[in-house]
């Protein structure tokens, strides 16, 4: 049973890293939660600093975080806001570009190019924008 679990974890990690367009590093080095968070990114690997995303860690329990950044894309079909944000200490994330789910009302408030401050609900390997304010 442990072999099946280890194999499934390794496959999930490899798939998550492959979706980022980066070669898989030592699979034991990154927790499965990091692969899930990386798979949520909507930016090609070439746009992020090399190696930074592999250092990401996602808290197991949902908690809140704050960040600042620039809106790079808004998708009202999927209710996603893509942000080029600074480091988010509460999540252990370096500065990067990443897509986040948001309510339709929040998506309607911003457009590409807006400088914003935002609140995130962290959990389940991803973040969801709960508040956003133009700066």
The answer to whether the CB of 119 falls within 8 A of the CB of 66 is: yes
pTM exceeds cut of 0.95: no
Per-residue confidence (pLDDT) for residue 35, from 0 to 100: 40
Radius of gyration of the CA atoms of the chain, in A: 15
The domains found in the chain, sorted by start residue, are: 2-134 (2.40.50.320)
What is the block-wise mean pLDDT of the chain (135 residues), using blocks of 10 residues? 46 46 43 42 40 46 88 97 95 93 97 97 88 96
Enter the tokens of residue 37: 């968070």
Give residue 126's pLDDT. Answer: 80
Give the pLDDT score at 62. 65
Cα–Cα distance for residue pair 116/108, rounded to 1 Å:
14
Q: Which two tokens stand for residue 97?
A: 């570009």
């Amino acid at each position: 049973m442990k072999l099946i679990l280890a194999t499934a974890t390794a496959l999930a990690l490899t798939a998550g890293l492959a979706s980022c367009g980066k070669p898989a590093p030592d699979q034991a080095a990154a927790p499965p939660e990091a692969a899930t968070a990386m798979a949520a990114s909507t930016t090609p690997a070439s746009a992020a600093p090399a190696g930074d995303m592999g250092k990401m860690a996602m808290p197991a329990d949902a908690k809140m975080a704050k960040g600042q950044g620039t809106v790079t894309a808004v998708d009202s079909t999927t209710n996603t806001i893509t942000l080029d944000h600074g480091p988010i200490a509460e999540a252990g994330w370096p500065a990067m570009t990443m897509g986040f789910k948001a309510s339709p009302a929040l998506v309607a408030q911003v457009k590409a190019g807006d400088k914003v401050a935002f609140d995130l609900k962290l959990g389940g390997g991803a973040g969801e924008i709960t508040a956003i304010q133009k700066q």
